[in-house]
Amino acid sequence: MMDESCPGKVEPILEILDSKWMLLLLFELFNGTKRFGELRRKLQPISPKTLTDRLRLLEEKGIVTRTLYPGVPLHVEYELTESGQGLQPIFAAMWTWTQQFGESLQERMDDRRMAP
Amino acid sequence: MMDESCPGKVEPILEILDSKWMLLLLFELFNGTKRFGELRRKLQPISPKTLTDRLRLLEEKGIVTRTLYPGVPLHVEYELTESGQGLQPIFAAMWTWTQQFGESLQERMDDRRMAP
DNA sequence: TGCATTAGTTTCAAAAAATGAACTATGGGA
DNA sequence: TCCCATAGTTCATTTTTTGAAACTAATGCA
């Protein structure tokens, strides 16, 4: 499973998760459907441009849907798709790792060593 | 588990995985101890500066160890620590997600929708 | 008429990240 | 003496990302 071809298979998902704000954004969406302004307030001080950029990427990748509700004032709702919900185990694994090893994340370069 | 405090707990690990080349680098190290030049060749066309930056970050975080072997010419080996090995489940979860949903990653904005 | 609200877009500047080319240090061997 | 190989470092430049400020569109209501 962890063979040679694996990096190429995992990188597409890192392209999604890599960018600033993306994690926080996905966490908000795990807690249910959200409107643009709502997300903007929760992720303060994100700029509307960056928020739009992130949401468009998620939309392109099929991870969220965007639903427009006409009327005055109009509003828009963002919701995770099935593949969006499917990201949860990845976050769960990160959470587990942090539980196990997070303590040792303080900066320290003390264990540089020489061969015996 | 997926509560309010979760993003903050998961972000430290994203700071590690986020940067360019990092995934490829970790995959190389999953396959065993590697020397600097070996990594450089495998990750072509990475620059030596970037490779050094990545390795230093992993070292600081306690994810790899660096061992210097004196002699002429000297050489250096990089090896995953226990916490480095512990990253495998995260990659495994990414791999699983890609298996399940990777097909739908093609660009497409066709499912933008209006409320009924 | 013009204000209010929602959800953006546009344009340009600033900051951060990555790169490329050239350089350092070590020390044995031709 | 100079060259080889290893493992980097340094500094200037380019590329990529992010951000701030101001603007647009739709439309019911005072």
- For chain B, percent of residues with pLDDT exceeding 70: 90
Mean pLDDT rounded to a whole number for chain B = 89
pLDDT at B3: 54
Please give the C-alpha separations between residue B21 and each of A111, A115, B17, B27, in angstroms, as whole numbers: 24, 27, 9, 10
Query: Of the candidates B9, B67, B105, which has its C-beta nearest A61's C-beta?
Result: B105
Domains and CATH numbers, chain B: 6-97 (1.10.10.10)
Low-confidence ranges of chain A (pLDDT < 50): none
Model pLDDT, residue A3: 54
Burial of A64 (0-12, 13-18, 19+ CB in 10 A): buried
- Residue B38 token pair: 């070996």
Any idea what DSSP says for residue B104? G
Judging contacts by C-beta atoms under 8 Å, the chain A residues touching residue B70 are 114-115
Q: Which tokens hold the place of A17?
A: 């998760």
What residues 71-110 of chain B have any CB closer than 8 A to a CB of chain A?
Answer: 82-83, 86-98, 100-102, 104-105, 107-109
| Interatomic CA distance for residues B115 and B26, integer angstroms | 44
Summarize pLDDT for A53-86 with one digit per residue, the tens.
Answer: 999 999 999 999 999 998 888 999 999 999 999 9
Q: What is the DSSP letter of A38?
A: H
Would you state the pLDDT for residue B66? Answer: 96
- Measure the CA–CA gap between A86 and A29, rounded to whole angstroms: 12
CA dist B9 and A96 (Å) reads 10
* Per-residue tens of pLDDT for chain B, all 116 residues: 555 556 777 888 888 998 889 999 999 999 999 999 999 999 999 999 999 999 999 999 999 999 999 888 899 999 999 999 999 999 999 999 999 998 888 666 566 788 87
